[in-house]
Each structure stands twice: as C-alpha cells, then as structure tokens.
Amino acid sequence: MSTEDQEAQEEELLALASIYSEDEYMRTDAAPGGEIYLCLDLPSAFVVSIKSNSATNSYAHNFENTVSFLPPIVLTFELPPGYPSTTPPNFTLSCKWLSPAQLTLLCQRLDDLCEENKGSVVLFRWIQFLNEETLDYLNIKSPYEIEVSSNGVQDWMQSPEKTLTDGVLLERGALDRRAIQDVQSVPALIQYILDFNEVQEKKAFDRKLFLCNICFMEKMGSECTHFKACQHVYCNYCLKDYFEVQIKDGQVHALNCPEPECTSIATPAQVKDLVDEQLFRRYDRLLLQSSLDLMADVVYCPRRSCQTPVVQENYLDKPMGICSACKYAFCLYCKMAFHGFSPCHVSSEKFVELAKEYIMASRERKKEMVKIYGSFDKAVEDMNKKWIRDNSKPCPNCKSPIQKIDGCNKMTCTACKKFFCWVCLKILCPENPYKHFDTPVPCM
C-alpha cells in the first residue's frame, strides 16, 4: 500500500469517527473498514405495509402502520490496499425493509459513484447518496409495501424475472450478492419495525422543548412525559406529585392526563419511571386487585393468612375454589371447606334472614338458594306460624286464627261466622252482639 493511499484511508476513517456517533458508525479493528447505519428521513405520515411471498405468512398481508422511522440501511465496507488510487472499497448493503432487487440497484449506483470519483475517496459520497437520494432513486412513496420473500435472496435468484416500480427489469441471476435483505420472519420484521420506530420517536421527543401546562415552564422532552393517546405533554416533576397523591389515596385508575376532560391513562411503565419503588408496588398491587375484582370467575382464598386470588372451578355441578398457594379447597358460597352436594352450613340467625329473602325472591333465585342452602320449607312454615302467633288471635268457637286490621273490637270469624270480642275473646250474642260493649267495663 502506498503512503498516499494509507494516509487517505486514515484521514477518511478519522473524519467518519468525528462526524458520526457510535450509534451511526463503527470502525473495525481487524482491517481498515467499518459499518455505517443510515436512518433515512421519511415524509410525514409515512405508511408501510408488509407483503409476504410465502403462503405460511399470508396473515401478515394485513399489517399496515404509520411510522416516522424505519430501520437503517447498513453499509459494511473494507478498504483494500489500493484504495483510493486504483481499487474501490469492498462493501455489502443490508436492510430489513428493502428487497434484494432494490438493494441491488443501490449497489449498482455505488459502483457508478466509484467510477465517477475514480482515484478519490468515495465513502462520504456514498453516504450522501444513501441518506438523501435512496427514496427518490427507488421511487419509494407512501403508502409503501415491503416485499419479503420466504427464503431471502434465493427465491429472487430462482425466479425467472422481477420488475421494479421504476421499470428496471432484473433477469435471472442479476441480483447482486452484496445486497442482503436481513429478515428472519415476517412477525419478527413487524415487531422490529414497531420497536425501532418507538425508540427513535423517543429519542426525537427527548431533544425537543415542551411547555408544561401545570407549572407553565418549558422543559426538554427528556424531562417530560408524553400521553400518546392524546399527545399532551407534562413535565415529570408535576406529574410525579400528581401521581403520588392519587396512589396514596388508592385512586390507581385516576392516573389520567391532567388536561380537563381528557381520558388518556398513564401506562404502568410511565408510572414506574416517576414514583419511588415502594409507591409503585402499592400502585401495582391495587391495580391488580381492582382488575381481579372485576373478573366474575376470580375470588380470594378465604383464609386470612393467604388471600391469594383463585379462579373458580366446578365440581359435582357446584362452584369451588382451590388455592394455588395454601391448597385450600373451599365452597364459593359459604367459604368453608368444600362439601360437595351437602347444603352450605350457616347460623340459625343467618338462615332466618335467608328465609325472608327466599319468600320475596324470584323463581330462579329460589332454585339457586335451595341448591346452595337446602330446603326452606320448614323455615318458612315456622316463620308463618310465628307471624300468626304475633299478629292474630284464635276464634273462641273454632280456633281459626283471626287478624284484626281496623274497626271496633266486635269480630266475625271468617270460618264459623261466630261473633266475638277481640279483647276478651268472649262469644257474643248473635241477635245483639253490640250489647256486650254497652256496659261500662265490658270485658270483666
């Protein structure tokens, strides 16, 4: 290698290291070269969808999403001893969202740029082209459909021909071996695109200034929280105080955007970033408990020392729970040890209350109560007898129970039609029953 070539290579590599961050440029130690990661500037509201050539990935046809960033084009290069005077750099181009045919066109253009700048360093010209001209050169516009072949380059090389959107025809074997579509599977590609876009959006957000509508101070995005559903932004200091008060009061479902009438809710990850560990544990526990309370098939172990959430099961057509922590099998109605077909045991006072409910219940509810607690016939009969004793008197002639609703004390038995006095239960004269009440003290 000539001294001039060696100096030119070293200067070019040092210039790359000084201009680009470690996330954008990595220099290799084994030989002069490195990797450059080029993240293109996309038009606003750029829509991408994914098309798969494999029948097994047909479900991925429905993927469509608006993104601000797509994964980078990776330029991997090595500078040979004759560069730049006589030999061009060795390189590969890899990308997850460009097809092998599209990457082949970019490789051809990089070769053309080498020829146009023969004898001069070319890496910066390559980077400029890939950064600024790729979308126009490949005629990529929104909405953009990503083509993914099931076996990568191999499928493309074996196909008879492939036509690109700009009219360039690639015949069999025309794909460049330096063009690599770095895709393992369609689901993995979808997740990678979404994750990369989220990370890059966070980086862009952190570098901007925002006005907090609570303290009315401008803060960097890195000091703020962004509610994605509503796009409102507040500084972390104000939100921290707001979240702490709500969590201490047990209002874990009230951690919403402070904007009036806004219904956006803070995510658990956002809450965790703002409050201390002890308070987040309280938030997490209350949130889980409130969620479980809304689930009809989840109960808590009745043992006070346990209280583990339990999913109800059915055995012998009766609901039961088996605690995964203490292994206690219990009846979901009475919370006692599971008792199969036997009725639930309750105290006599409780059973009286249930009997009162049974009398007023609907037919369906009565069936359910009998299934749980057994027959209520005797209890209802006893209640009726007690009510009769407390609210009626026996007819002195036939002993039929008679209730007085209103009126005077002269009573007529509905069964035997005899007249009698309600106070002393004396049978009255049928010809003049009121004569009994004419004396000053009739019931002596």
Beta bridge partners of 421: 410
DSSP code string of 273-317: HHS-HHHHHHHHHHHHHHHHHT-TTEEE-S-TTT--EEE-EEETT
Which of these, 111, 103, 109, lies nearest to 175 by C-alpha position?
103
Whether 196 and 70 have beta carbons less than 8 Å apart is answered as yes
- DSSP annotation of 329 reads E
3-state DSSP assignment of residue 437: helix
3-state DSSP assignment of residue 35: strand
- Among the listed residues 215, 398, 408, 424, the single catalytic one is 408
Query: Please, where are the H alpha helices in 306-403?
Result: 348-360, 363-373, 377-391
Query: Please, where are the H alpha helices in 207-276?
Result: 236-248, 268-274
- DSSP annotation of 345 reads P
Told to judge if 408 belongs to the known catalytic residues of this protein, a careful annotator would answer yes
334, 340, 343, 344 alpha-carbon torsion, rounded to 10°: -10
Which of these, 364, 367, 368, lies nearest to 332 by C-alpha position?
368
* Distance of alpha carbon 197 from alpha carbon 133, whole angstroms: 21
Which of these, 247, 309, 314, lies nearest to 274 by C-alpha position?
247
Whether 175 and 101 have beta carbons less than 8 Å apart is answered as yes
C-alpha distances (whole Å) from 220 to each of 111, 118, 375 are 43, 46, 71
Find tokens 């790359």 and name the residue.
Answer: 16
Could you give the residue numbers annotated as active site?
Answer: 408
